A = this chain, B = another copy of it.
Amino acid sequence: MGAKKARPVTLQMIADQLGLHVSTVSRVLHAKPDEGLRAASSPTAVRVRALAGELGYQRNPHAMSLRTQRSNLVGVLVPRLSDVVLATIYEGVEEAAAENGLSTFVTNTRDVPEAQRARTEMVLARRVDGMIFGDGRSDTGFLDEVAARGVPFVLVNRQVGEHPAVVCDDYLGGRMAAEHLLRLGHEDVAVVAGEPYASTGVNRANGFADRFREAGLPIPGHRITHARFDAPGGREGAEKVLAAGPRPSAMFVVNDFGAIGAIGALRDHGLRVGADMALVGFNDTPLAAELPVPLTTVRSPMHEMGRRGLELLVRVLAGGPPDKELLRPELVVRASSDPGRYAALMRKTAPGRTGDGLSPGQDPYTSSS
């Protein structure tokens, strides 16, 4: 079974069948309209296009890349694709790439610097035109090296130094979370920040802390703890906070996954999320709305970030300026922090209605396995 795979049709074949030269066919088919006008007479152009269509001509990308020194390929590095945040960003990247005639390689680096180096080399060996880093670390000079080598790239998700980047305005997001809790009258709050090498967590925590300081309620050191960006990390972070003296009335965890871990820790301490402790996460991961007590969180435009990241790269490749874009986050208030919503939730005989009426049009959790 399986038809003998016919050899793909080439420009040469088309040219031969039409008694033309291959270069003429090439120009007709691929030259930009402005310079393509003088490529061939209108009738021949039509004949060429017709035959190409009929034969199902497909330009050979390898020959093209070899000749033009441009691969139309971009490499994407992320910490983990099974992290829904990064996966969503990548979806945006890929979508925009397709629209721009580019293809993408994506690969995990698990945030380990050696893997980051190794994968970068692999990707570069494929002669990509540019790269997108979703795993930028501020504690290694790696990206500076890459830049020094003349490799065009942009960052998404995290920013480092002055390299071109498209990120969420994490600092503002942190302030929004703080603002929200201040409005609700919280005066003693804690924050579980992320890894120190990731701008995301750092900026979110800083924005949050700054806003509280401005309100005349500086957050003491023992109320701030650093943790990994995952459930166990969030749990440990929350535990540490709870162990340090009298408990605060609210907690800001800079990542939804961490917030889930924190929820576990709070339960272990017999504390009810939304009642005994207000909780705010970050990212508005699909599961935030589905939790038994829906989670207040700061939505970051992940998909959009990916799209913009790729588009910025396209501009950079075209010689454009290495801009930096900050995307606006959005506070999504749910029962985990809002007394009103919490009460409404509890008022139902059967608590647990998961909808929140605040995030329309997003369908959470989809699976196809």
Known: A255-B369, A367-B257. A82 touches B71 (CB 8 A): no
Chain A, interface size category, equals: 35 or more
The answer to whether B260 touches A290, judged by C-beta atoms less than 8 angstroms apart, is yes
Docked Cα-Cα span, A87 to B367, in Å, equals: 11
Among B5, B66, B91, B352, point to the contact of A60 (Cβ < 8 A). B66
Instruction: Please tell me if A304 contacts chain B, counting CB pairs below 8 Å.
Output: no
Instruction: Please tell me if A36 contacts chain B, counting CB pairs below 8 Å.
Output: no
Contact indicator per residue, chain A 92-130, by CB within 8 Å of chain B (1) or not (0): 001100100001111110010000000000101111000
Known: A81-B81, A365-B260, A367-B229. A268 touches B62 (CB 8 A): no
Known: A84-B84, A98-B122, A269-B350. A79 touches B368 (CB 8 A): yes
The answer to whether B79 touches A267, judged by C-beta atoms less than 8 angstroms apart, is no
Give A95's nearest chain B residue, CB to CB. B108
Docked Cα-Cα span, A125 to B2, in Å, equals: 19
Docked Cα-Cα span, A256 to B287, in Å, equals: 12
The answer to whether A71 touches B62, judged by C-beta atoms less than 8 angstroms apart, is yes
Chain B residues with Cβ below 8 Å from A260 are: 287, 290, 365
The answer to whether B268 touches A366, judged by C-beta atoms less than 8 angstroms apart, is no
Quickly give the copy total for this chain: 2
Chain B residues with Cβ below 8 Å from A127 are: 8, 60-62
Give A256's nearest chain B residue, CB to CB. B367
Instruction: Please tell me if A333 contacts chain B, counting CB pairs below 8 Å.
Output: no
Contact indicator per residue, chain A 347-369, by CB within 8 Å of chain B (1) or not (0): 01111111000000001111111
Instruction: Please tell me if A131 contacts chain B, counting CB pairs below 8 Å.
Output: no
The answer to whether B108 touches A106, judged by C-beta atoms less than 8 angstroms apart, is no
Chain B residues with Cβ below 8 Å from A198 are: 368-369
The answer to whether B81 touches A350, judged by C-beta atoms less than 8 angstroms apart, is no
Give A157's nearest chain B residue, CB to CB. B369
The answer to whether A369 touches B66, judged by C-beta atoms less than 8 angstroms apart, is no
Q: Which residues of A contact B (CB under 8 A)?
A: 1-5, 8, 58-63, 65-66, 71, 78-88, 90-91, 94-95, 98, 103-108, 111, 122, 124-127, 135, 147-151, 157-158, 198, 200, 228-232, 255-258, 260-261, 263-264, 267-271, 283, 287, 290, 292, 300, 302, 348-354, 363-369
